[in-house]
Amino acid sequence: MVTNTADFLHERRKMSLKKLADTSFSDRLKSERLRKGIKTMPELAELSGIPYDSLKKYESPRYRRIPEKDNLLILAKTLNVSPLYLLGETPYRSTWEEYDSLHEEDLKRIRIETRFIEYAESLGCDFTNFDQEDFSLFQTTVNKCILETYKGVQGRKENNE
């Protein structure tokens, strides 16, 4: 059951990844090269600066070679797509494409959660080792504290009047 934005995005991504399972890196690379109007691998080699022999191994289903991080980032930038898209970890060519597919209510929740995370990190919180349950518990606790503080301030204002 989807209860929050993170769960929603996770479920949506799982469904989309099932569709991607049959598509290899070489298929996506070739597809994006052609979509971008780059007709040949030598042309892509010239545009990206990656040697033709390497590109041939990346795009050939026979080799099934995945580029190292540096070449992956160069290819993604040259083709104007996300590296995660080329790797098949997301169905969206860019992060913004994923966000564009969300409903306004989901975007509002994402904005609120993003502001919350940015504020908490500005106070020194480190979420790198948090899983979804840890983060939800932390967020709920902080929200309760904020609400109690707000009620306390409102009560003092009323007593002063």
Least confident of 11-15, 67-71, 79-83, 92-96: 11-15
pLDDT tens digits, residue range 17-43?
444 444 688 889 999 999 999 999 999
Q: Which amino acid is at 82?
A: S
The two most distant CA atoms of the chain are separated, in Å, by 79
- Give the pLDDT of residue 41: 94
More confident of the two residues 91 and 36: 36
Mean pLDDT of 121-150: 74
What Å distances lie between residue 63 and 50, 53, 56, 57, 60, CA to CA?
Answer: 17, 11, 9, 5, 6
Question: How far does Cα 80 stand from its chain's mean position?
Answer: 15
More confident of the two residues 71 and 128: 71
